Chain A
């Protein structure tokens, strides 16, 4: 970027759960500037009431995701140059989640579904037992490794149109987590996981749109994990009958 300061035209969605519209700001361009920096600059210098959420600022906490020029992104690690469309930037709250205010969404539905998908460990041992020997190259572990570094940023959830169209759908992140639980040799209750993900809002609703995998900032592949769940679900149907 040139050293002379140019202004960027930023449209920011403002509003509450009931109504809202875009407001325009001019923000001086800087070297090494992220979308989060742009938003913070507006709040600190132009409109003190602008609301947004962040915590870690290094792509670990998954609280800062927003729609940036129509694409869900982690704003703390999105460099302005990467997304600038001419001189324009449009920032809106994440899709598919209720808005609290301005750029802040209520992430509870996302986490409720995480739990509804049984995306949690079901212990088979206690703190008094030694740590289990598990080879890192074992099949289950290799599968888990492809999905475990999820930061629950909800970007995939915002990208998925099935989530938009079907309010019961558990969504890519929750299902991916369920898949990792299902593959964990330490987990004591895989049937519960399978039951949770094969019901009405479960993995069978996924149409393999792939937006989850395309937009995941950590290059995870929920689509693949969901396919795994579909297989397991179908397999268990036949094995139970047979």
Chain B
């Protein structure tokens, strides 16, 4: 194919990808830290603040800000929750800076988190933690955070590229540094290459290659797929967190997979199988109140035994708590279910485990720097903070803390970077060719491929894994990818052509799916979200390793790296001796 297309070219000093917690905070902090006159550009696949998952945060934000809670305790919970796999420096900074970030959100950005009746900050309990430390705004915390951030970003002199989809990280000729990012302006279908001295990637991962998933529709692993192609090392790529109760309403509706909140089980909600019998106590003594991964596996087991509801899941039942109580206490959820045609307050609602969060990501240091000069990564795209399991409430803390860190670091680093770098035009052309590929092929149905990919990942690389399964999964993914490369998209109008973007979404999802399976095979033990039926033990803690994936030439290589216990070793704690093990319920 000859490349005869016009690319619009422009430049900026600081370029930010994504407008979740990471992207928005990067923009605000860069603006505060960078010298006057620095040009800042924010580019996003959707509309500013109206896409991504930060907006969807329900539960809240973990921060050690009262009730006897300390940064040390938050840190220990994070390390324990991650089963000793987190990068401890990153986890420490997360817990430490969250305190400042929440104050910044309240005092500078204008968020308001719920208060106790005496006016002090309210902290709620989130499972798996030893203190009530989650601040929140009702169960719509994300809307409060992102709306307030959005206003601040929109009111500042920051260049906005909305509905601009990043499709390639374009390095310099020698490959040592990043020159800029290639986009498709989705509204016109044209390519735009933006050169920048520093780029922060905050595209938010998003395990949407699973049949059931919670993230927003724009999240399709673009960032990690780009990083993979650029040869950056990725870590913990086998770690996919499942939320146990996703709504199940049939394959034809986008409602399927969306989260029914954790609090339902906490409040006494019961899980019933197809025969309307409670089953969680068969798997764990805590029943429905066990942790996310345990409950997800319980439901999955029940489904494998074919004790299933009409659409192939199980039921959640709240009615025994009294329909009125449920209606009052979970009004948002009841209303949402009702809108979709379900009666949560007094009926049965079908649920299924649903892919929720991706712990894996680009290897970064605690200043968000990556192996490539000029590229910074924060939020769900970055790996290391959570290890094998993310605590509820640590996701948004991570994206806002490290987005801000990235903004500050870029604002300072930019002073040392005098000129923009020149891109490797060859790679630029390669990326354009990759994106244009479907437009000259025979038209096919991309959606069918997506279903195939999602089935494969759900069945073979999902809640419970085996080597044989994952091998089969890898083969199925490769099959889908091969078919994708032969599936075309009509090229008559590229403006806002969602089908073309579905194709590109699939391309990213296939690449990262293959990596998840491969990294999953490499981890021969069970930790947190990664459960191997053929290796159910967690393995030696002191010899913990994490997986590192990198593309070398055409090959994907997965290696194991020992975890560095830079702050605390397994079996030890940094809490003072007299500290109780838990503050919850004390």
Interface residues of A (CB under 8 A from B): 16, 30-34, 36-37, 40-41, 43-45, 48-63, 76-79, 81, 100-102, 104, 107, 111, 114-115, 119-121, 123-137, 141, 144, 148-152, 177, 181, 184, 186-187
Contacts and interface: CB of A to CB of B under 8 A. Distances in A.
B152 A120 contact: yes
Given A60-B140, A151-B143, A55 B51 contact: yes
Contact of A32 (B52, B101, B341, B492): B341
Given A56-B56, A100-B496, A102-B496, A63 B108 contact: no
The 10 residue pairs across chains A and B that have the minimum distance between CB atoms: A121-B110, A133-B119, A120-B151, A127-B104, A51-B496, A48-B499, A125-B107, A44-B447, A32-B249, A55-B51
Contacts of B498: 43, 48, 50-52
Given A34-B254, A48-B499, A135-B119, A57 B217 contact: yes
A156 to B, nearest CB: 15
Nearest to A219: B335
A199 B504 CA distance: 46
Contacts of A40: 254
Nearest to A100: B187
B339 A77 contact: yes
- Among the interface residues A32, A59, A62, which one has the most CB atoms of the partner chain B within 10 A? A32
Contact of B151 (A32, A45, A114, A128): A114
Chain A interface, DSSP helix/strand/loop, else mixed: loop
A34 B255 contact: yes
Nearest to A103: B496
Interface of B: 46-48, 50-52, 55-56, 65, 100-104, 106-110, 112-121, 137-138, 140, 142-144, 147-148, 151-152, 154-155, 187, 216-218, 249-250, 252-255, 258-259, 336, 339-342, 443, 445-447, 489-490, 492-493, 495-499, 502
Given A45-B447, A115-B155, A131-B65, A150 B147 contact: yes
Contacts of B489: 48
Chain B interface, DSSP helix/strand/loop, else mixed: loop
Contacts of A61: 46, 50-51, 55-56, 216
B155 A55 contact: no
B162 to A, nearest CB: 8
Contacts of A58: 56, 255, 258-259, 336
Contacts of B341: 31-32, 79, 81
B492 A111 contact: no
Contacts of A62: 50
A101 B493 CA distance: 11
Contact of A55 (B109, B216, B443, B447): B216
